[in-house]
Structure 1
Amino acid sequence: MNRAWGTVLLAAGFEVGWVLGLGHADSWWTWGATVAAIAASFGLMIAAVRAIPAGTAYAVFAGCGTAGTALAEIVWLGAHADPVKLGLIALLAAGVVGLKWLSGSPQKEGEAR
């Protein structure tokens, strides 16, 4: 199970790479790297949802990718680090952690959480 969550996080890292790549690709090499990152991201997600619920995995993937992209723009591309923006990224991260925590152990049918 933990390996599957690691796979989701790795897929989100590739998502950050391809999203940033789309905005900055200007040669055959950078376009090739962007396409490779897209393929890796989706391939890793396909592997991950074989072991964990697809809805939760996708929510964590999208949240990590969104937060990662916003932070990468601040750190590497000089985007404005507005306190409200940082607070919303923290709120997003809290939601991702909450989803991961709630999906920690499989629930049997009819069993209350």
Structure 2
Amino acid sequence: DVLQKAVSHVLDFNYKGLLRVESELFLPWLREKLSFEPRPSVNRAFQNMLQKLESERSLVADIAQAMRKEVEIVINPDESMQAYLSATKNVAQLSADLSSRVRSIMEQQDIFIVPAVAYVVPEKEQQ
């Protein structure tokens, strides 16, 4: 029950909220701002970068869904000990994978998105 609450809090509250803000507000705003880049090659690079980040986010969502399924096995008292142990191991591995992917997304944003915004978007609009 504690594991289920922890996973639910992280995935359904924290991460889902962040994804919604990014999907509904930040990414459309960013696409709009970066699309004004007059050089086609730079514009394509921006769009490719955003597409790669969206693909990474999709993989994170898949990992989160797999983690939810494994947690259901862990908390189900009717599951065998072998299923319980396997699911527990899988939750730990999925958690590590999730953490690694999210860290990678953050690093990519710091390396590519932040400088792109600083370059393309006027300072007064960056707040």
Same fold (TM over 0.5): no
TM-score range for the pair, normalised by the shorter chain length:
0.3 to 0.5
| Bigger Cα Rg | 2
The normalised TM-score by structure 1 is: 0.41
